Chain A
Amino acid sequence: MSEQMKELTSAFMDGELDDAQAFLDQLKVDDDLRATWSRYHAIRDSLHHRYLPGASVLAARVAAALEQEPVLLMPLNKRHNKKPASHALGWAAAASVVLIMALWFTQTISITGDNGNIFEITSNGQPPQATAEVEQTLSDYIVNHNEYSASTKMQGMLPYTRLVSYEPAQQAGAERVE
């Protein structure tokens, strides 16, 4: 075996061989090269105090057992091959979405009613401010809607209480404003 092939073996076991395909083709058919690969790993394992002479029989045993196994011809999941740039793009897209959503929620959203009144909705914790005219419109809507809402089919006082208590509360608010 050439010195060059042994040097490639050394570089490959360190993960420092850029184009390994030609080397792996040779490793597949060259028993001497595989023996070198084995001894180089014995050196590494010994330096890390983990070399087990008895374990060296495993490769042959596993190879014999694999004779009975089907050949794998399945594409691997390629998640590990993602380039760092694609990760960065993914994070940038996610950050953009979060930013847009944050801006959307913090800005004031205006809803124009049927009669041209504007309800201002904010997400900064402030309750919406409505005029007396708007309150009256809203009250009428609730009364009308209550007739058809599912809650009217409920037994007991709850639907009635909710409807009736709205207007006194509104009136009390109106008195405070005055």
Chain B
Amino acid sequence: MADQDSDQALVERVSRGDKRAFDVLVIRYQSRVVKVITRYVFDQTEALDLAQEAFIKAYRALPNFRGDSAFYTWLYRIAINTAKNYLTAQSCRPPLRGVVIDDAEFYAVPAELKDTATPEHNLLRDEIQQVIFKTIDALPEELRTAITLRELEDMSYEEIAEVMGCPIGTVRSRIFRARDAIDKQLKPLLDH
């Protein structure tokens, strides 16, 4: 997976003393880590606290990260253990439907979190999703195809170039232009 390459570059930066590179990793994985934790802890405030704890643990344990697995797999394991330890400390039994690491990424936002999230957040999430899909629908076909193959089919630039019959540089430009078009529509919503 291509994300691993950029993760690795960031991890190496952190290990050389660049704390801000870790923030970049947090931004990348914050939603996914909270989502995994809410399989165990249904209260959003608690889930956020545990996610923060998991990230701090990951930072401290980073020198032990051997790179045998992808960074996000390693991070998820820390997040799940943090949630389980919390439940044990609370004398609660972890839910039977645990999270399989490999599948964790593919879960949609759990129903429990939708229920516990504030109405404003639910509304914002739905609105953001509508704006994104609407913008993608309105994109020129070559941009729409490029961003769809990248984001939804998880193809590399090389694979997309082969499918679309164009150079890799063109793929990179099309994906960026698609993202930029979505970003322009999204920015007012996220900055408010």
Residues on A close to B: CB < 8 A? Answer: 3, 6-7, 10-17, 20-21, 24, 27-28, 34, 36-59, 61-63, 65-66, 69, 71-81
A66 touches B67 (CB 8 A): no
Q: Which of B7, B157, B176 has the most CB of A within 10 A?
A: B176
Give 1 or 0 for each of B24-35: 1 = CB within 8 Å of chain A CB: 101110111111
B121 touches A52 (CB 8 A): yes
A59 touches B30 (CB 8 A): yes
Give 1 or 0 for each of B4-37: 1 = CB within 8 Å of chain A CB: 1111111111111111111110111011111100
A13 touches B6 (CB 8 A): yes
Q: Report, nearest first, the 4 A-B pairs whose CB atoms are least far apart.
A: A80-B67, A15-B2, A15-B5, A74-B63
Q: Which of A27, A38, A58 has the most CB of B within 10 A?
A: A58
Q: Which residues of B contact A59 (CB under 8 A)?
A: 23, 26-27, 30
Q: Which of B5, B11, B30, B190 has the most CB of A within 10 A?
A: B30
Give 1 or 0 for each of B48-89: 1 = CB within 8 Å of chain A CB: 100110011001101111111000000000000000000000
- Looking at the assembled complex, report how far the CB atom of B118 sits from the nearest CB atom of chain A, in whole angstroms: 7
B13 touches A24 (CB 8 A): yes
B129 touches A12 (CB 8 A): no
Q: Which residues of A contact B6 (CB under 8 A)?
A: 12-15, 17, 20
Name the contact of B27 in the complex, choosing from A37, A53, A73, A79 (C-beta under 8 A). Answer: A37
Does B101 sit within 8 A of A, measured CB to CB? no
A28-B20, A55-B30, A59-B30 are known contacts. Are A50 and B8 too (CB-CB below 8 A)?
Answer: no
Does B137 sit within 8 A of A, measured CB to CB? no
A54-B44, A58-B30 are known contacts. Are A72 and B132 too (CB-CB below 8 A)?
Answer: no
A51 touches B125 (CB 8 A): yes
A24 touches B117 (CB 8 A): no
In chain B, positions 90-120 with a C-beta closer than 8 Å to chain A are 105, 107-109, 113, 117-118
A14-B157, A37-B24, A80-B68 are known contacts. Are A7 and B31 too (CB-CB below 8 A)?
Answer: no
Q: Which residues of B contact A62 (CB under 8 A)?
A: 22-23, 26, 52, 55-56, 59
A55-B51, A59-B30, A76-B15 are known contacts. Are A24 and B67 too (CB-CB below 8 A)?
Answer: no
Q: Which residues of A contact B179 (CB under 8 A)?
A: 10, 40, 43
A80 touches B8 (CB 8 A): yes
Query: A53-B125, A63-B26, A80-B66 are known contacts; what are 10 more A-B pairs with Cβ within 8 Å?
Result: A14-B175, A28-B18, A37-B27, A51-B125, A53-B121, A55-B31, A58-B52, A59-B23, A62-B55, A76-B67
